[in-house]
Structure 1
Amino acid sequence: MTASGVLGDEEAAGLRRGVAAFLHRHARVRLSLLLSAPLAWLGLAYLGSLAALFVTAFWSTDTFTGDLVKVFTWANFQDLVTGEVYRTVALRSLWVAAAVTVIDLVIAFPMAFAMAKLTSPRAQRWLVILVLTPLWASYLVKAYAWRVLLSSDGILGWGYGLTATIATLSYLWLPYMILPIYAGLERLPNALLDASGDLGARGWRTFRTVVWPLTFPAVVAGSIFTFSLSLGDYITVKIVGGKSQLIGNVVYDNIGAANNLPFAAAVATVPVLIMLVYLAAVRRTGALDNL
């Protein structure tokens, strides 16, 4: 190897050492480089699609040809605000999402507490696997299984409607509530529970003053999953909801049969705005700061 080649290798090695030393001293620069690729993908795939959604919501469709008219208009949002049917659908969707969240919370909290505090480490691992097992099955298979159970000639025989929809969604999203609460309870020191009992607090007071405040961020995390997933779901309503309509069904119908993509985009902004309001309200409680 020539002298110039050796010199070039030494310069390259020195440059690499200099870059490594610089990144070692500047943790923020190192973190920014590590996150640049996923953040770029997030900006293009997720935020870009949201931007396209909002832009499309201000377009319209030619009623004669069915072509998109790319001219700014508030007509879609005016129809949403003035249409009593759409207000009813939005309120019904909120009610269903809230009901699913409350039901999952009532079921998930004692299950998560038993998993985190009342079982051995080996049993905890098996219980976590059992909680995750339903997530490995197909969404459609589980929804149609509930349709068989809740149909007029099924085991439960409740028929189709909002009750069947809430029951099915509560089952589908229950693991998303159990796992965050379980993680929050697992971080809760047992010494705090023992100290509360030593100071004379009964079970309910211990729960109210110790367990609930410290696990509230985990409950919020679970509620974000169950609430948002229920708010935007439309497949379950199609399968077990009968004639019930939620926001997701209105979006689906306007994309398919009605061929009105701009109005579907306008309707799709409703759950996005609802979740932004929900997250802002939760953030004011400080729960997200402790996740």
Structure 2
Amino acid sequence: MLWLGVLYLGSLAALFITSLWSVDAFGGNIERIWTLDNYRDLFTIDVYRTITVRTLLIAAAVTIIDAVLAFPVALYMAKVASPRLQRILVIAVLTPLWASYLVKAYAWRGMFASGGPLDAVGLSPGYGLAATVLTLSYLWLPYMILPMYAGLERLPNSLIEASADLGAGTGTTMRRVVLPVLFPAAVAGSIFTFSLTLGDYIAVKIVGGANQMLGNVVYDSFLTGNNLPFAAAVATIPVAAMLVYLTAVRRTGALDSL
């Protein structure tokens, strides 16, 4: 609790306090005068509203895509594969996490490039939002597969067999037996995919074309614009979004079932 309170919550408090300061327009020095101008700019300037909405939609899209892709993989790993194959598949899912983030992002850049493998078969979306969503979905997919696999592994096979013995079809068994157990695990995975996407800015620079996300605004405001207070204000948006998301998830009771 001391570690959480001092280092984590303390840093968030420092971030919020910094966002209430301003920068001297001439000298570029931070003025420790309380003001809401940074937040006023965020909500009144169209470009920042557009970037905020774009970031939230991309995070939601990545989470949904990863959930759809992870479910059959996790189900096969937990309920179909033999114990030996399970271990092999877990290693296979973890292996991409050992590779460099930049290597994987640039590999996808090569896939989307003109004359690349996808372009050769007419499937390349080019650099832009679609490329960003696909790249981030690939990067964070293991974070969705592993919680789903752990959740489904806890589901007793006897419950599935009992459902079949009572005359339930595959769809009914999935809906009334598997999904209630899977939902908390999917929520746990979505916390990773949603939050990691909200804060990402490197993949967007590599495959996103001219599109930006909130992470890019923070990066540019701090390093290029030398405006730490505004960067701190932008950084509070993902934090607030995750607090809202966690509150909504908590109301469903999913977190209590983890």
- Taking structure 1 as the reference length, the TM-score comes to 0.86
Matched residue, 1:59 = 21
Deviation at 1:223, TM superposition (A): 0.4
Higher Rg of the two aligned structures: 1
Instruction: Give ranges in structure 2 of 5+ residues lacking alignment.
Output: none
Deviation at 1:214, TM superposition (A): 1.3
Which AA in structure 2 matches 1:206? Answer: T
Matched residue, 2:96 = 134
Distance in 2, matches of 1:185 and 1:202, equals 19
Choose the corresponding residue for 2:160, options 187, 193, 202.
Answer: 193
Matched residue, 1:4 = none
- Over the aligned positions, Cα root-mean-square deviation in angstroms equals 0.8
Distance in 1, matches of 2:115 and 2:16, equals 44
Query: Equivalences for 1:202-281 in 2 at 5 Å?
Result: 202-281=169-248
1:247-291 superposed Cα distances (whole Å, 9 cap, x missing partner): 111111101111111001000000000000000000000000011
Deviation at 1:47, TM superposition (A): 1.6
Report the 3-state secondary structure (helix = DSSP H, G, I; strand = E; otherwise coil) of the residue aligned with 1:256: helix
Q: Which moved more, 1:152-161 or 1:85-94?
A: 152-161
Matched residue, 2:252 = 285
Distance in 1, matches of 2:64 and 2:167, equals 30
Report the 3-state secondary structure (helix = DSSP H, G, I; strand = E; otherwise coil) of the residue aligned with 1:80: helix
Choose the corresponding residue for 1:148, options 94, 110, 119.
Answer: 110
Choose the corresponding residue for 1:164, options 121, 126, 131.
Answer: 131
Report the 3-state secondary structure (helix = DSSP H, G, I; strand = E; otherwise coil) of the residue aligned with 1:65: coil
Distance in 2, matches of 1:44 and 1:173, equals 29
- Taking structure 2 as the reference length, the TM-score comes to 0.96
Deviation at 1:42, TM superposition (A): 2.7
- Structure 1 segments (4+ residues) deviating >2 Å: 39-45
Could you tell me the percent identity over the aligned residues?
Answer: 68
Which AA in structure 2 matches 1:267? Answer: V
1:33-71 superposed Cα distances (whole Å, 9 cap, x missing partner): xxxxxx323333222211110000000000100000001
Higher RCO, 1 or 2 (CA under 8 Å, sep at least 6)?
Answer: 2
Deviation at 1:230, TM superposition (A): 0.6
Deviation at 1:83, TM superposition (A): 1.2
Which AA in structure 1 matches 2:107? Answer: A
Distance in 2, matches of 1:247 and 1:152, equals 27
1:175 aligns with 2:158: no
